[in-house]
């Protein structure tokens, strides 16, 4: 989670919403990504989607069944769908997102019978740092 938090700080420094994600296979870091929706303009440039794309490319496969995803914020519905399609085995996320999250809030994507694959989900690691980073980022913009 430390590496995902570092990526989130890098996103904030670039003026992006501070979210970072890391794909791991065992002890190996496969991909690290930060939010990048503004430059270049890409509404799908969420850290999770970017990390999944990088991992798939690095491994040469679309199914990441032996990989885990670490992310600093509860994934939205788009990202949860991508996580399911990638067949990620375990999802770890830091801060919950009662407004936009779709794992334990909102759509609860992994609980839907239409969901193709549900990873094991663990939350709360690094939650305080991730939440403080997000609050500070948005406070500066208001």
pTM for this model (two decimals): 0.96
Q: Average pLDDT in the 71-93 region?
A: 98
Tell me what the pLDDT averaged over the chain comes to. Answer: 97
pLDDT category, 142, cuts 50, 70, 90?
confident
Is residue 74 part of the annotated active site? The answer reads no
Per-residue pLDDT tens over the stretch 1-17: 999 999 999 999 999 99
Residue 40: is the preceding peptide bond cis (ω within 30°)? Answer: yes
Instruction: Quote the CA–CA distance of 88 and 135 in Å, as a whole number.
Output: 28
Choose, from 48, 57, 129, 140, the residue flagged as catalytic.
Answer: 48
Model confidence over 24-76: pLDDT tens digits? 999 999 999 999 999 889 999 999 999 999 999 999 999 999 999 999 999 99
Residues 6 or more apart whose CB falls under 8 angstroms from that of 136 comprise: none
């Amino acid at each position: 989670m430390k590496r995902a938090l570092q990526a989130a700080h890098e996103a904030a420094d670039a003026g992006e919403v501070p979210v970072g994600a890391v794909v791991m296979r065992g002890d190996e870091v496969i991909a690290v990504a930060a939010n990048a929706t503004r430059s270049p303009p890409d509404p799908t440039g969420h850290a999770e989607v970017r990390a999944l794309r990088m991992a798939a490319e690095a491994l040469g496969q679309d199914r990441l069944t032996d990989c885990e995803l670490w992310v600093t914020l509860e994934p939205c519905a788009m990202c949860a769908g991508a996580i399911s399609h990638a067949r990620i085995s375990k999802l770890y996320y830091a801060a919950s997102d009662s407004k936009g999250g779709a794992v334990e809030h909102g759509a609860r994507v992994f609980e839907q019978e239409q969901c193709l694959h549900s990873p094991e989900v663990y939350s709360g690691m690094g939650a305080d740092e991730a939440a403080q980073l997000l609050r500070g980022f948005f406070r500066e913009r208001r």
